[in-house]
Structure 1
Amino acid sequence: MESKKLSLILLSYYSEHRILGVYSNIKKLLNEHNIPFEFIIVDDGSKDNSYQVALDLEKQEPNVKAFQLSKNYTSHYSIFAGLSICEGACALPIVDDEQQPYDTIVDMYNLWLKGEKIIIPHRITRDDDWKSSLFSETYYKIMNQLTEVQFPTGGADLFFIDREIIDILNKKIHPINTSTVIEILRLGFNPYFYGYHRPLGVNEKSRWTLKKKIRLAKDTFFSSSSFPIKFIFNLGLWVSLISFLLIIFYSYMKLFGDPYWGDMLPKGWTSIILFISFFGGLILFSLGIIAEYIWRIFEEVKNRPGYIIKNK
């Protein structure tokens, strides 16, 4: 490991027409600033020619390494894979859509030289469509309110980290049903939140489908929050208390009666059906939340790998 080498991890997914341009631009920039770097391309199970392009670049450039995962695991698992094989003193995952200006790499590298171990870049401004903005803002507000991590304004999904953090992630964290950013934010180390403006006119269509976004939201929420379990406990406690008071109240009315409360007594089967439906739904809802945690425990104890890097 070189003492100041930066490991750049390119998250490649259907990127055959972008890889060469990304590498060329970054190489020019980092050479101008005398920043030593390795360029690790992790292909996330693309079905196009992305991996072959990466292999060809690896043959031409000594600081390029190309790897391919056995299937599409999504970007966070590609990051875990890249971190497991990088050799630099610091690391930064990057995407190929150029939504984050390359100048930010130099800025974060200089912050790292000054002693910052975790740097979280986040967009100060965003020009996404209203649906993406609404989903993103709602997600990060829920995460900040109900979990043990705090995201910066606008959220974040990438990071610049020191070798100490890389080693912790590789040795201590099991990369399954979680995300890299969540695990990094939970470590502490006083992360530095670095804001930047996304260039105007960059409107690449997201390769994150709604299904993938929902899965990521669930994984990050349940892996970093105990709120649902506490909510079920408190809800059950209050419902039990109210039910106990109702039992006392209706028992009194049945035994002694009271003209003042007479009209409040439930009559007929409608009230019974409503109570059964309400508590039935409440029970199923609670079981669903508990099942999410149990399923994650089940996946964890099987000790399956979060990703598989194919042999060349």
Structure 2
Amino acid sequence: MDEEKERRETALPVLVVVVPCCNEAEVLATTNRRLTDLLTAMEQRKEVAAGSRILYVNDGSDDGTWQEIADCHARDKRAGGISLAARVGQQMTLMAGMDVARRYADVVVTIDADLQDDINVIPDMVDDYRRGIDIVYGVRRRRTSDTWFKRTTAQAFYRLMRAMGVRTVYNHADYRLMSRRAVDQLCRYEERNLFLRGLVPKLGYLTAVRYYDRAERQGGRSKYPVRAMVDFAINGITSFSVRPVRMVFFFGLLFFVVSLGMLAYVVARYMAGEVVPGWSSLILSVWFIGGCILMGLGIVGEYIGKIYLEVKQRPRYDITEELL
């Protein structure tokens, strides 16, 4: 441990910034310019080693993102990239990038391609690493740039995760620094149902938090519309999405809601004296119990579906091209 601490204090770390990209051609040139300028400044200030670089991970884009990555690589070899054969989602894309980056990095920073997260926090994160911290979370001070709906649902999501016993960092997404040994440990988790915001806190290394203000998106569009946010929230609790089984749960929920409407209807008919004896209790029982049974089956089905996906042991991603 003392040797590791001494090495961090004396040797400049090799930093790799991993950037997941899904249809980000519109913003990639600006993103690359800002990140390369940051690396240049950090190298000049002797904060990182000269071998530091950026690693873009193309997640099945169909808008010319990979060509933009290739152009960035041609202009500056510090900007590299890998391309995945098919779209696997942000969490798998991040894991693929970190798995490649750990080959030559001392520290890995993950950040979204739109750079709404403040890149000026990265030097502070690296400073924390050199002081012995293995994981540094980038955490938003406030959510003023979000719509009321997104802000409210995001806060509800974090509270729900905490109530379910899942360890997460409040207002932290996937902007973080990890040391190589932390990334090595994370890569030992071979599950297909990835939820990095829950996995990283389980690693147990020393952590720190760096707060920042999130900027407005400068181009492109968000890859998290309402439907995607709902899916991501459910995956965070159950670790993955099994849509066919989940439909059973929502049907059960629908029947439960209908049973509440039937309750009002039955009470109204009962007060009017227009019911057959025993009909009220029977119809309410059928709707209520039926809804509860289907909801229960849906919840159990979520976990059975995840077991089904895990036991097949399919590859998590396939890298078709590399520019390193």
TM-score of the two chains, using structure 1 as the length reference: 0.79
The one-letter amino acid of 2:308's match is: F
2:154 aligned with 1:136, yes or no?
yes
Contact 1:6 1:92 in 2 (8 A): yes
Alpha-carbon distance, 1:21 to partner: 2.1
Aligned counterpart for 2:164 among listed residues 125, 146, 167 = 146
The one-letter amino acid of 2:291's match is: G
2:296 aligned with 1:286, yes or no?
yes
The one-letter amino acid of 1:301's match is: V
Alpha-carbon distance, 1:118 to partner: 0.8
Alpha-carbon distance, 1:103 to partner: 0.8
Aligned to 2:81: 66
Aligned to 2:115: 98
Q: Which has the larger radius of gyration?
A: 1
Aligned to 1:4: 13
Aligned to 1:255: none
The separation in 1 between residues aligned to 2:75 and 2:204, in whole angstroms, is: 40
Aligned to 1:57: 72
Aligned to 1:174: 190
1:268-296 Cα deviation digits (max 9, x unpaired): 23312322332222111111100000000
Q: Structure 1 residues 80, 175: CA separation in 2 closer, same or farther (over 3 Å shift)?
A: farther
Q: How many residues align?
A: 267
Contact 1:18 1:96 in 2 (8 A): yes
The separation in 1 between residues aligned to 2:107 and 2:31, in whole angstroms, is: 20
Aligned counterpart for 1:115 among listed residues 132, 135, 142 = 132
> Unaligned 5+ residue runs, structure 2?
1-10, 241-275
Give secondary structure in 2 for the equivalent of 1:9: strand
Aligned-CA RMSD value: 2.2
Aligned to 1:302: 312
Aligned to 2:36: 27
The one-letter amino acid of 2:151's match is: S
The separation in 1 between residues aligned to 2:279 and 2:26, in whole angstroms, is: 67
Percent identical residues? 24
Aligned counterpart for 2:283 among listed residues 273, 279, 285 = 273
The separation in 1 between residues aligned to 2:129 and 2:206, in whole angstroms, is: 13
Aligned to 1:17: 26
Contact 2:139 2:209 in 1 (8 A): yes
TM-score of the two chains, using structure 2 as the length reference: 0.76
Alpha-carbon distance, 1:43 to partner: 0.9
Aligned to 1:213: 229
Give secondary structure in 2 for the equivalent of 1:158: strand
Contact 1:159 1:181 in 2 (8 A): no
Give secondary structure in 2 for the equivalent of 1:278: helix
Aligned to 2:60: 45
Alpha-carbon distance, 1:3 to partner: 6.6
Aligned to 2:176: 159
The separation in 1 between residues aligned to 2:184 and 2:172, in whole angstroms, is: 25
Contact 1:10 1:94 in 2 (8 A): yes
The one-letter amino acid of 2:61's match is: S
